[in-house]
């Protein structure tokens, strides 16, 4: 109903949700720091040796073109000797929990405001109906006299 529509389309809730998703990504990144990092680089180099003539009718086998392929791999790992990585992870987890609490509080606040406005609208509708009934009764009373 209205609450689901509010959660889906409210920009304030969407911003709080985006901040929470960003905080969760930071936690995943901090957890990844405990594992080794693997780097792989692959390359190709093409070179040619000219014959000194300006003839362009050389075949590819005698053209002097040489392809060189190379690959490099590396592994690195940072040992958490002094607890820096662990403290970073703990701080990011606390930040994610705070962002989740902010998101929940924002949703609750927006939903509360929606419910209050809806109830106020219903009260005003009922007051309007009662006033219309009173006006109708006064008009009937006026016709009788």
For position 48, what pLDDT does the model report? 82
> Whole-angstrom Cα distance, residue 109 to residue 101?
12
pLDDT, tens digit (0-9, with 9 covering 90-100), for 41-67: 999 998 887 655 554 444 445 568 888
> Whole-angstrom Cα distance, residue 114 to residue 74?
56
pLDDT, tens digit (0-9, with 9 covering 90-100), for 111-141: 999 999 999 999 999 999 999 999 999 999 9
Phi and psi angles of residue 68, each rounded to the nearest 5 degrees, phi first:
-120, 130
Whole-prediction pTM value?
0.63
Name which residue leads in pLDDT, 61 or 86.
Answer: 86
Share of the chain above pLDDT 70, in %: 90
Ordered by start, the domain boundaries in the chain are 2-35+79-144
> Whole-angstrom Cα distance, residue 102 to residue 3?
18
């Amino acid at each position: 109903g209205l609450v689901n529509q509010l959660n889906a389309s409210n920009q304030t809730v969407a911003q709080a949700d985006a901040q929470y998703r960003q905080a969760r990504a930071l936690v995943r990144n901090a957890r990844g720091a405990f594992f080794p990092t693997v780097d792989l680089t692959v390359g190709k180099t093409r070179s040619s040796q000219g014959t000194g003539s300006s003839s362009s009718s050389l075949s590819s086998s005698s053209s002097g073109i040489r392809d060189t392929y190379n690959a490099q791999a590396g592994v690195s790992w940072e040992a958490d000797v002094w607890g820096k990585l662990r403290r970073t992870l703990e701080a990011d987890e606390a930040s994610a929990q705070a962002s989740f609490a902010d998101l929940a509080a924002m949703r609750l606040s927006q939903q509360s405001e929606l419910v209050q406005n809806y109830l106020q609208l219903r009260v005003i509708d009922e007051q309007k109906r009662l006033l219309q009934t009173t006006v109708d009764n006064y008009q009937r009373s006026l016709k009788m006299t």
